Amino acid sequence: MVGDKKRWEPPIRQAHWRIAGAVAIVGSAVMAVVGARWGALRESIWLFFGYWGVFAVLLLSAVYIALLDIRYIHTRFTVDQRDAFKETLGDEDFQKELRGAVAKSRKKKGKNRLN
């Protein structure tokens, strides 16, 4: 099992924070609709600020989760790109063959210049 390369997975999976982001967006949307029609918010300043404070926290958390998701996707892309490079162009045998082909090509070009 030494050759098995297990991919690292974060403790919180991408699906989990996407669900949390969706809940935050839906929650803030429901709060926006209810808040526009709920008369009790107009009667108490504390209830007003508390209600819209929770709304702001939900909305900002959804934006933060989206930014985290973008960063995670970019990081995974970079890691996958690096792994693909190591498997293809980064392989030592391939690099030796490539150097040999380049040297052979240069020798041919050098002979053509003398003629």
For the entire predicted model, the pTM comes to 0.66
* CA 72 – CA 78 distance, rounded (Å): 10
Distance (Å, whole) CA 21 – CA 15: 10
Q: How far apart are CA 31 and CA 25, in angstroms?
A: 10
Residue 112 has a pLDDT of 59
Which residue positions in the chain have pLDDT lower than 50? 1-3
What's the pLDDT score for residue 1? Answer: 43
CA distance 46 to 20: 27
Residue for token pair 């040999």: 100
Contacts of residues 9-14 at CB distance under 8 Å and 24 or more positions apart, as own/partner, are: 10/72, 14/69, 14/72
The pLDDT score that the predictor gives to residue 10 is 66
Separation between Cα atoms, residue 78 and residue 62, nearest integer Å: 24
Total Cβ atoms within 10 A of residue 62:
20
